[in-house]
Amino acid sequence: MARVIVIGAGLAGLAAAVRLAKLGHQVTICEKDDRLGGALGRIEADGFSWDAGAASTTLPAALRDLFRKSGRPIESLAQLEPITEPRRHLFSDGSVLDLAVNDRGQQTAAWTDLAGEKTAQQWTALVDGYGETWQILRKSSLEPPLMDRLPLSAIRSLKPWQSLQRAAERGLDDERARAVLKYYATQHGSDPKLTPGYVGVWSYLERTFGRWTIDGGFGVLADALAQRASERKIDIHTGTEVVGVTTEAGVVKGVRLADGKSLPAEVVVSDIDPRDLYGQLVDDPAAKKVRKKVLSTHQAQAAYVVHLGLKEPVPALPFETVLHGNPTVVVRAGGQAPAGHQAWSVLVHGYPTDDVMDLLVARGLHIRDRVVSRQTSSSWLAGVAWEGYKTARRRAANVSPVKGLYCVGAGAHPGTGVPATTLGAAIVADAVGKA
């Protein structure tokens, strides 16, 4: 049995903690804030409730596996529900696309109605082609043991040197179809021109596995993981900041806290920005090379988020609406609201030069006079920005060259988003192994 300290209690940190506790380790969580969950959580005001960060996910098996491998199934604590509404895309020319998230035939029909049979066939063929991409990434990067280097045949198939924008230009003639594909980079705060084309695999994953939310919002997931941590007898310290990772000859010995105390450990799992971990907390020669790589990355542009409480009548929107343009604006309509009201979350991806209300009105959503509550939340961490395909090699690996040190979260492999951060925690649990 190893003494494990988890730094940070976001989704990835909590996921790693409960998995390692189930494997028989003695786990302690140190979270500098006063609550668990990180970006998972709720904003509550004036009778409204909004998801503070993530509101949906694809690859629901990642969450199901997390709860099954840490105790009882997720259904014992939270209810995953499929999103059956299509994602709406509003384009600058005024056209509207309601694109089914999880149905190939309905996607083809929607594109045919909007842009004709040729565009529909191009979109379907492009998404179909990402099926091979998914199999390569799943086997090489998401399921242990991870490959250190991909076979040449896999590299040729992935074409990492081809950007997402280039993939859109080569595979799609319609500018609106290109915009929909490039959204998979934009939503994570990266430039499609600098994002590898294989990131478009998310279009295949959504179509294959659907998109899911949680009854009551994703704040319920944070509550469920906190309860699972309690069930696993994890020692939880909120309001506790770690200011250093103690090492000796390249081996973890514990952590130092802001109050001057030290906690011994054989394993430290970091769920904080790897740039902070390697740049400020770890001072060991074994980390020299990885420190240089990690510090050469840059944070992706986080979304600017405004939560709105609206009095009906307001335009009827599906769960998610993407307003294409500069900047890209996303409206999530799945918040909790009193009778006769709706709760929207507005995410601005880009540098807003106008007020959110002005952006909405300019895109055709005239709801200024319906606002009864407005809350601005902190922009949530978007992970590492893509700056070409080599970024994948500079992102922090889950297993550090410092023995006993591991990284999870949006800034670490395999990337940002609920599925990726959850899978990163599974990789770490497998690497640490049973007590």
Q: Which of 350, 367, 349 is nearest to 358 (CA)?
A: 367
Order of all β-strands in the sheet with 251-257: 242-248, 251-257, 262-264
Domain with CATH 3.30.70 in the chain: 304-377
The 10 Å CB-count burial string (b at 16+, else e) for 383-417 is bbbbbebebbebbbbbbbebebbbbbbbbbbbbbb
Top-level class of domain 304-377 = alpha beta
Give pLDDT tens digits for 91-127. Answer: 999 999 999 999 999 999 999 999 999 999 999 999 9
Cα distance between residue 312 and residue 39, in whole Å: 29
Predicted TM-score (pTM) of this structure: 0.95
* The Cα angle at residue 112 between residues 106 and 115, in degrees rounded to 5: 135
Sequence-ordered list of residues with C-beta below 8 angstroms from that of 389, at least 6 positions apart, any chain: 160, 161, 196
| Digitized pLDDT (tens) for each residue of the chain, 435 residues in all | 899 999 999 999 999 999 999 999 999 999 999 999 988 888 999 999 999 888 999 999 999 999 999 999 999 999 999 999 999 999 999 999 999 999 999 999 999 999 999 999 999 999 999 999 999 999 998 887 777 778 888 889 999 999 999 999 999 999 999 999 999 999 999 999 999 999 999 999 999 999 999 999 999 999 999 999 999 999 999 999 999 999 999 999 999 999 999 999 999 999 999 999 999 999 999 999 999 999 999 999 888 999 999 999 999 999 999 999 999 999 999 899 999 999 999 999 987 778 999 999 999 999 999 999 999 876 655 689 999 999 999 999 999 999 999 999 999 999 999 999 999 999 999 999 999
Domain with CATH 3.50.50.60 in the chain: 3-40+59-79+216-299+384-432
pLDDT, position 381: 58
Order of all β-strands in the sheet with 267-270: 235-238, 26-31, 3-7, 267-270, 405-407
Domain 3-40+59-79+216-299+384-432 has CATH 3.50.50.60: yes
